[in-house]
Amino acid sequence: MNKIFGNTTGLGAQQIKSLERLYRRGIPPESILSNDLAREVSFLSSALNRQIGLLINRKGEISMVILGDHKGIFIPSLDVFRAASTRFKGLRLIHTHLNGEALSPEDMTDLSHLRLDMIGALQVCEDGSPGKLFWAHLIPENPHGDYWLIHEPQEPHRLDLNFLSFIVALEDEFARQQKTRKIEATEKAILVRVEKNPLAGAEASLEELRQLAETCGVAVFDSQIQYRPQPDPRYLVGRGKLSDIDLRATQIGANLLIFDHELTPAQVRSISDFTGLKILDRTQVILDIFAHRAHSREGKIQVELAQLKYLLPRLMHKDTSLSRLAGGIGGVGPGETKLEIDRRRVRERINRLEKDLKNITKSRGQRRGRRNKSGLPVISIVGYTNAGKSTLLNTLTQSAVLAEDKLFATLDTKSARLRFPRDTEAVITDTVGFIRKLPKELFSAFRATLDELNEAD
């Protein structure tokens, strides 16, 4: 059965049948819109005094008929239709405009957000006949920084473009530009930051985030800064800026947005729903690095502890189908929801890990005490992450500590003996490097560094 999407309340049976008949009005695949279909949808839209939208696939078949109101239409989810980083949805949207207006900002948002092949607005004249078709499509990266091309409006019967060949060639151009980047990483990101003050060092912070992302194996394609008095509570950046970022991601083939802030769960959902892209914040990137770099038992405990502390306030999902599980005396009573059980288990795990970490810290203190009794002076190498501390330790002591040109290559303090002339020795210690805006969940990971500083000579 052909479904009419939208609000059909108040329509008679014949009107609904007229809308359903549109599904049988296919067009040649090479046509943007046939004159016959333009006349039929225009007269029907005029009779109903509502906008009508048609989603047409590349075979020329009507995939969806959408009924709106006098001012616009609401497009349902298109998740079932294909889309890849270099390809569109394979659908064009043709919809009527009852007041003869051109494409609206909302139309252009739909074009970019839904990655449509094209979008068209068909004028409906006073007598119900079709007027001109306004149409637009996305374009690849270009020197002018444009995201789309809006064509001159024309009557449907004057449109002589072979649309199928045109859209395939357009997709090929998107693919060609993206291949020239020669990026093997699966995650291709745009970095995003909101800043109040243009002099507050936003560029330096984004450069640090770029290094963090590349340490995770992410290819950074672009970065965007928006200066505004206050972050948007829903999207962090403004809705218009987020729409531009979404368009930019489509142009350059990015599939990930990394924000140089800590996002709330609600912001992550809102941004993801708006763009359809994967969303990460600065804290998640740093946690991912720590998870891959921790090798000692202490380091692994610290990372898991940080991840759980980050996760706990984000356990906000609801599952009404589970309701409350059995509890109370004899298994009767409201008991706990699945969400409450998840939170309780996370808290219990956090408590266990904190106890383990205390024991390890105590053992480390005992080792330092024994080292102090030896009377050897202690030298600690301290500095920013990736400043060359491990390289310096290896050079001075001929050690083989891992040293890479990456942030946080060292997540555990390491000590070695340094021999001076005249048989003098000292203990030299490599420490975890510092970074701007360290997530509070990772403060404990630097406790060993601070302890070493306290004991150093």
Does 387 share its domain with 418?
yes
Task: Tell me: do 123 and 221 sit in the same domain.
Answer: no
Number of domain units in the chain: 4
d(CA 436, CA 301): 23
pLDDT value, residue 373: 64
d(CA 216, CA 281): 13
- Please give the share of the chain, as a percent, with pLDDT higher than 90: 32
In a domain, 355, yes or no: no
Q: Give the N- to C-terminal CA distance of the chain in Å, as an integer.
A: 82
Please determine, for residue 330, whether its predicted confidence score (pLDDT) is greater than 60.
no
At residue 389, the pLDDT reads: 77
What pLDDT was estimated at residue 329?
Answer: 38
Q: Is residue 354 part of a domain?
A: no
Three-state secondary structure call for residue 215: helix
User: Do residue 235 and residue 263 come from a single domain?
Assistant: yes
Residues 6 or more apart whose CB falls under 8 angstroms from that of 102 comprise 121, 134, 153
Do residues 158 and 27 both lie within one domain?
A: yes
Residue 360: inside a domain: no
| pTM (two decimals) | 0.69
The residue type found at 452 is E
Over the stretch 249-308, which tens digit does the pLDDT of each residue have? 888 888 899 999 988 888 998 998 888 889 999 988 888 888 877 777 877 888 888 888
Q: Are residues 384 and 410 in the same domain?
A: yes
Residue 352: inside a domain, yes or no?
A: no
Please write the tens of the pLDDT for every residue from 217-246: 888 999 999 999 999 999 999 888 998 898
Query: Residue 205 above 90 pLDDT?
Result: no
Q: Are residues 281 and 304 in the same domain?
A: no
More confident residue, 117 or 176: 117
Residues 9 and 107 in one domain: yes
Q: What is the mean pLDDT of the chain?
A: 82
Helix (H, G, I), strand (E, B) or coil at 96: strand
Strands 278-281 and 188-195: unpaired
Residue 99's nearest CA partner among 72, 80, 78 is 72
Among 179, 208, 243, give the residue marking a domain's end.
179
Domain that holds residue 319: 293-347
Q: Do 20 and 120 reside in the same domain of the chain? A: yes
Q: Do 162 and 205 have their domain in common?
A: no
Report DSSP letters for 219-232, one per residue: EEEEEEEEE-SS-B
User: Is residue 253 one of the residues assigned to a domain?
Assistant: yes
Cβ neighbours for 259, distance < 8 A, ≥ 6 positions apart: 191, 192, 193, 236, 279, 280, 281, 282
Q: Judge whether 39 lies within some domain.
A: yes
